[in-house]
Amino acid sequence: MIITPLLVIFMVVVFVLLYLFLTTIDKRKWLSFLISLILTPFAYFYLFYPFVNILSSYHYQKYFDSEAWTENPSLRYEMVDNTIESDTLVGLSKNTVYKLLGKYEWLSWDAAQKAHIENKWNYSLGIEPGAFNNKKESLEITFKKDNVVALRHFQEEITFDDKE
C-alpha cells in the first residue's frame, strides 16, 4: 500500500470522527482513543474507501491497440482519450481505419438531406463505469477526401428497447 498525503488526511478525519462518536458513548478518553485507533483502518477501508470509489468515475487509460479494440468493444472507452490526444488516426485513409477498427457500427445522419453521411463513421465505446452514469460513450470519425480529419468523442443517453 502506498501512503499518500491524501490517505493520511482521510485516515485522520475518520479517526477524529470515530473518536468524537465514541466519546459520546463512554467518557474514558483513553478507551475511546484506543478503540478509535483500532477501528479507524476498518472504517476507512471497508466504509469510506468503497463509498468514494462508487461515487468517483475513475477508469484506466490505455494506449490504442487495434486487437483490443476489435476483441473487447465494451472497453474501448479506455483507449479513446489517448487515441484522440495523440492523433493516432488523423491522416489515415478509410481503408486503413477499416483494417484497424473494423467496420463502422453506424453512419451519422443528415436531417436536412434525410440520408446517412458516408464520411462520418461512428463506433460505440461502451459504458464508462460509475454509480450514476446513464450515458454510453461513442466516437465519430470524420473523413475528408478519404482521410481522417477529425475525431469526436460524445455521449448518448442509454435507451432500452421496450418489447410489448
Q: Which residues contact 151 (CB under 8 A, 6 or more apart)?
A: 83, 84, 89, 90, 139, 140, 141, 142
Inside any domain, residue 33:
yes
Inside any domain, residue 102:
yes
Based on the domain organization, do 36 and 98 belong to the same domain? no
DSSP class of 45: I
**Which of 4-8, 81-85, 98-102 has the lowest average pLDDT?**
4-8
Q: Does the structure show a pLDDT above 80 at 95? A: yes
Q: How does pLDDT run across 39-66, given as a tens digit for each residue?
A: 888 888 888 778 877 777 666 788 888 8
Based on the domain organization, do 147 and 71 belong to the same domain? yes
Q: How does pLDDT run across 113-128, given as a tens digit for each residue?
A: 889 999 999 999 988 8
We report the CATH number of the domain holding residue 78 as 3.30.1450
The parent domain of residue 26 ranges over 5-55
Average pLDDT value for the chain: 85
